[in-house]
Amino acid sequence: MAKVLDLNKLAEFSQKQGLLNTMEDRRGVKKDVLKTSNFNIVLICLDVGQEIPSRPEPYDVCFYVVDGKGAFTVGNEQVELTRGGMIFAPANEARGIRSLERLTILGIQEPH
């Protein structure tokens, strides 16, 4: 059975400013959209100036920019992406995101 989602209705932006250091801070900008045995999809919404600091995670992820502009760090590389851009971050590699404009991202993760 098909599952239809409206990302615009799911998008929620946190009022917390700057670095989102704690798990609670990140929960305010990250929402599970779909979980299957093959992948997880999360919606990440960052307001201007918000940042998820770089840290390693034990799973692969592709970040796809739905709208806005952000600086993505993977390992020692930093790339700016806008709507339609995508970047891959391998498991156990440090990754972080800083919003340069109001930013909506889909994270497509291996299941964990």
Instruction: Supply the DSSP symbol for 7.
Output: H
Q: Which residue has the tokens 């917390």?
A: 16
Q: Which residue has the tokens 């990440």?
A: 44
Mean pLDDT of 92-97: 97
Tens of pLDDT, residues 24-67 = 888 889 999 999 999 999 999 999 999 999 999 999 999 999 99
**Other CB atoms within 10 A of residue 89 CB:** 24
Q: What is the pTM of this model?
A: 0.92
- C-beta of residue 51 within 8 angstroms of C-beta of residue 97: yes
pLDDT at 19 over 90: no
